[in-house]
Amino acid sequence: MRKKVRKPRGSYAVGYARPPASSQYQPGQSGNPQGRPKGVRNASSMARDALERTVNVKVKRSWRKMTVRKAAYLRVAERAAAGHANALDYLLSLESEERAPGSDQAEAQRSAAKDLAILQDFFDRRRGSLPQREHDDASSAACLMTADRERASARPKRILKKRPEVLHLTSPSI
């Protein structure tokens, strides 16, 4: 299809899509003169800079330099360990964002196979050290499992209490 070529008229006609020449922008003039000045940063870049700033943090009686982001994650982890459900939910959501979907299932299958191999090896060693009884393999495995459970329940449980790490944020040393 052939384009129409407009013929220039003798004078500039004001009309649809043809504003008057006096109201048109002059060359080098901005359409928004009081708009965003050059070099002004947006909120996300300022937040990123604030999180990447290094601060001195007291961890277990010693001072360490780390980013504000890492110190904040340590504080959230400390609160989650202290029993705050919201902090635990937040940490778990961050972890699930980082992991690829389906990687947990493959890892669970690998660990289940390893667990079965370890248990089988354990029971084989136990059978070799115990005197042979005249029972089938299924009943002897069940007897061994109940004996192990009885021994484990007879032992006193030791509960180890670990104090959570205490973080003290200080102002950055400038």
pLDDT tens for 20-68 read 888 888 887 778 888 888 888 889 999 999 999 999 998 888 999 999 9
Check whether 160 has a pLDDT greater than 50.
Answer: yes
**Is-above-0.85 flag for pTM?**
no
Angle 54-56-60 from CA coordinates, rounded to 5°: 135
Angle 106-110-111 from CA coordinates, rounded to 5°: 115
Task: Give the Å distances, CA to CA, from 77 to 6, 48, 57, 81, 84.
Answer: 71, 21, 15, 6, 10
pLDDT tens for 82-105 read 888 888 888 888 888 776 666 667
